[in-house]
A and B are shown apart, each in its own frame.
Chain A
Amino acid sequence: MKKGTIIRTAGPLVVASDCLGAKMYDMVRVGDIGLIGEIIELREDKAFIQVYEDTTGIGPGEPVLLTGEPLSVELGPGLIQSVFDGIQRPLDVIRAKEGDFVTRGIEVPHLNRTKKWDFKPLVRKGQSVEEGDFLGEVEETPLIKHKVMVPPGIKGKVTQIKKGKMTVQQEAAVIQDQEAEHKIRLFQVWSIRQNRKVKKRIMPENPLVTGQRVLDTLFPLAKGGTACVPGPFGSGKTVVQHQLAKWSDAQIIVFVACGERGNEVADLLLSFPELKDPSTGRPLMERTVIIANTSNMPVAAREASIYTGMTIAEYFRDMGYSVALMADSSSRWAEALREISGRMEEMPGEEGYPAYLASRLAEFYERAGKVKCLGSEDREGALSVIGAVSPPGGDLSDPVVQSTLKVVKVFWALDDKLANERHFPAINWQNSYSLYVDNIKDNWQEEVAEDFTEIRQEAMKLLEEESELLEIARLVGVESLSDTERLVLESAKSIREDFLHQNAFHPQDTYTSLRKQYLMLRIIIHFHNLGLNALEEGVPFNDIFQLEVRERISKMKFISEKEQEEEDSVHDVFIEVDRSFKELIKNKG
């Protein structure tokens, strides 16, 4: 293997000479202890290398080994339930080998080499296959059938196909084309900076149901869509991300903890095996891959971590799964980019970030989408991406927020003020938006209810009116408002407190099905409409205000999904609202 020589070390950046023949983004081993690095710039024979481990003790004169291969991940059975660092080294294996702290220069295989998987062939000998076709499958977890696909670029006849227990390294099939024989193992190797191929992109049209009322009803994300969650610290970004990882109805979750807290990762690791997937009842961990590069782990590996996560997510999408990737937080990724760029003495753009920040972000989010997968059968996969952004001081003019907003279609704005009032999720209903509503409208009408979009529209209108009325009330006092206006205020408050406010830590409140969301919101709107009617009939405002059924409305969120399914309890509240108003009008005066 070719070798270069280090001529400079400055933090995560190492410069080496004698590197002619090296290619951009090739992986290298740096120094005598062989730290992993990646070439990010070439000037004549000099290679600029970002190193994924701490460079203390590395100095000029030490060798750099040029592997000639790009930085890659291994894609195969064993990904699910794993926790990897930013360059796909399994953290449990590192722990078993090195103890409780992550030391340097560790070399461990990405996927377990000894575990045996039960391979079931899905093709016969002699069959013609093309790239992306399923050769067979293994049951990776009770939730996930891991498909072994023909790697991109290969097409031909199956000359051999095996069956039964084997490790990832064993040959599962042989494909013969005109020129050569291709031996297919259970895993493929893929460069993290390279998009995985698809047949074509299609428009997203199904909602990604997250069980979070403010998201699903007001600002929905489509399967295959992109969203961003910016907010100052303490506004609940991470809780939102965790809730999405827990409850969204994607089949595979890839969670990238990029430069965040170690204890949060510990929380995921401890809670995910215990939590049950609402649709299957199996532990959530059985559909989850975690990439953990916490804030104290090397900064360059943080930069790589979101690409590692993305490549794994794309791989599962290629199998036809609906995948959701959460990146928490993309600001830390951008900072890593900035740090490396600064050390390379590049001309800075806004706030010291490199000029290519926006294009890198756009490239990243564009890897999301709903697609027709490779392969002769007609198969669709979706990859949704949700990125948290941590702008300094919560300032939305931050370059990372602004560059992200240019590419994502859903914006969930977290709000400091709401968080201080302990209104969670602290998503501001005035600033946030979703551009997918039109795409998924039809799906809502078919799957949830004919009038769902109208109810939603009405709720949005009430919230809008509320903010205008509050403005007036602040100037002249609530007393000066008309009864109708006060009813608007009360109804909007009910939407906020009884519907939008959702406690992530309450066993029932933490998840609400789309159907129940609809029923809840419909009741609040129904109450409002009957209230308007009652006012017209001359019922005093206070009588409406003091109706006992309001108490039941505020408790709707605590009705469990099971009870709702079996007894339709939310509908009882609806009937009760009707009954209360009839009585009210009968008894007036």
Chain B
Amino acid sequence: MHKEYLTVSNIVGPLIIVEKIEDVKYGELVEIEDAGGHLRRGEVLDVSTERAVVQVFEGTTGLDVDESKVRFLGRSQKLRVSDEIVGRVFDGSGYPKDGGPEIIAKHTRDINGIPINPQARDYPSEFIQTGISSIDGMNPLVRGQKLPIFSGSGLPHSRIAAQIARQAKVLGKKEKFAVVFGGMGITFEEANFFIEDFRDTGALERSVVFLNLANEPPIERIATPRLALTCAEYLAFDLDMHVLVILVDYTFYAEALREISAARKEIPGRRGYPGYLYTDLATMYERAGRIKGKAGSITYIPILTMPEDDKTHPIADLTGYITEGQIMLSREIHRKGIYPPVDVLPSLSRLKDKGIGKGKTREDHADVLNQLFACYARGKDARELALILGEAALSDMDKIYLDFADRYEDEFVRQGESEARTIEQTLELGWKLLRMVPSAELKRISPEYLERYYSEDQ
């Protein structure tokens, strides 16, 4: 039996302070019983000989100082896992939300995880075909990569994420595949969209969902992504599955972290976010990857909405420093009615070089990718110039590029929500656009491929 303390002295925001404690450990899981007998959970954030600071996941509303009972459980927060976890929906603390039974644990895993030994990592190099040209063609995703979507409020990042979850596959392989979805502070409608979408396409059977909705306790959000990743690690490295983890929305996560930090009166870093935000995010993002000798993998797509579409905002900025690139969405392209509104130029996939080319996608992929980047960039410059000087002032070549940029957005970037293009189709589309430009201008493509593909069906 655990000792019960009635010594709560302060309640500050999401934190409670428990006095006169004995034998309490840092990071320990805590159970708090309020006056009405309801249980809440928390975690020890700071412990000294006299007192412990505890963050309460379900929030402190309704707690009082004299009647709340606190029990320290002597262990950190764990997730119970077994192969029956697939196909289930849980809340943000890991309890079943779909009316099903509790998971009978084969193992219990610490939700904070432990770092993968860098020496044990296998370099991600298998191309994942998402069926979306602006990703496959321009910023290819590989297995074991962490590639976030940088979005803004009102942009269709959920639809894109769902489309990736539906269509993603590795070419020429049939393997065990699972999706782990975590929602942090998202609305009921958004969560429902995902679940319905997964259900309609049959993806729910191979998914695990963890949901903390906008009206649920913000502090619970600290645990939600960790639960999802712990589950993913189990599926990937114990059950040899290829796991795609999608977590929305990290902005709400970071805000919850800031709330705790403020309640602890910590010295804030940029924009009030705690100085350890980078480390905190990294301990989650870095759980993606591959391990030598293991069949499974974790590919990770965190989604965040940049406040005011500002990518220098600490959440986006620190994420960009940890993840292996980013898919950036653009409000401007969205306004033109183009789906998916991927802003190709500032998007980046750092691991693409080892994932594309002969034997993986196609020999000319890297060259086509670079050339499309260059032509589109030039086209956008021309567009800007045309705005200032008028289209008439453009040189003939600039006019070609201007035209190129328009068609690129309209034909290459734009596609249907259920349209899954193969990588060949994507590359062919790329060539079709490149043929608008005289071959002498295509300096980034080696002569060999130019000869083979440029004039193909003209």
Contact = CB atoms under 8 A, between A and B. Distances in A.
A59 B393 contact: no
Contacts of A348: 267
B82 interface: no
A335 B270 contact: no
A263 interface: yes
B282 A296 contact: yes
Contact of A55 (B23, B26, B311, B317): B26
Interface residues of A, number: 68
B25 A505 contact: no
B27 interface: yes
B373 to A, nearest CB: 5
Contact of A57 (B25, B46, B115): B25
Given A269-B118, A477-B389, A390 B48 contact: no
B25 to A, nearest CB: 4
Contact of B121 (A10, A263, A342): A263
A8 B46 contact: yes
A418 to B, nearest CB: 11
A489 interface: no
Interface string B137-160: 000000011000000000000000
A83 to B, nearest CB: 6
A299 B276 contact: yes
B114 A7 contact: no
A199 B35 CA distance: 73
Given A59-B24, A234-B320, A263-B289, A101 B275 contact: no
Interface in B1-46: 23-28, 45-46
B286 A57 contact: no
Given A295-B322, A352-B267, A392-B314, A83 B118 contact: yes
A348 B311 CA distance: 26
Interface string B142-180: 001100000000000000000000000000000000000
B353 A392 contact: no
Contact of A262 (B279, B289, B393): B289
Contact of A234 (B266, B291, B325): B325
B444 to A, nearest CB: 9
Interface string B287-300: 10101101000000
A94 B23 CA distance: 31
A128 to B, nearest CB: 44
Interface string A100-111: 111110000000
Nearest to B270: A392
Contacts of B26: 9-11, 55-59
Contact of B48 (A7, A102, A104): A7
A505 B117 contact: no
Nearest to B346: A420
Contact of A420 (B110, B312, B345): B345
A295 B279 contact: yes
B124 interface: yes
B275 A261 contact: no
A542 to B, nearest CB: 13
A265 interface: yes
B166 to A, nearest CB: 26
Nearest to A17: B49
Interface string B302-323: 0000000001101001101110
Interface in B370-423: 370, 373-374, 377, 389, 393, 395
A230 to B, nearest CB: 12
B116 A101 contact: yes
B118 A94 contact: no
Contacts of A11: 26, 46, 276
Contacts of A505: 353
B324 A261 contact: yes
- Closest 10 interchain pairs by CB? A393-B312, A56-B27, A295-B282, A296-B286, A59-B25, A233-B320, A8-B48, A9-B26, A266-B121, A100-B120
Given A100-B117, A102-B116, A265-B121, 13 more contacts: A8-B46, A9-B25, A9-B46, A57-B27, A94-B117, A99-B117, A233-B320, A263-B145, A292-B118, A342-B276, A392-B312, A393-B317, A421-B377
Interface of A: 7-11, 15, 54-61, 83, 91-92, 94-95, 98-104, 232-234, 257, 259, 261-263, 265-267, 269-270, 292, 294-297, 299, 332, 335-336, 338-339, 342, 345, 348, 351-352, 390, 392-395, 420-422, 477-478, 497, 505, 554
Interface of B: 23-28, 45-49, 76, 110, 112-124, 144-145, 237, 266-270, 274-276, 278-279, 282-283, 285-287, 289, 291-292, 294, 311-312, 314, 317-318, 320-322, 324-326, 345-346, 348, 350-351, 353, 370, 373-374, 377, 389, 393, 395, 443
15 contacts: A10-B26, A54-B112, A59-B23, A60-B23, A94-B119, A98-B117, A234-B325, A259-B278, A262-B116, A265-B118, A294-B282, A295-B285, A296-B116, A392-B270, A477-B393
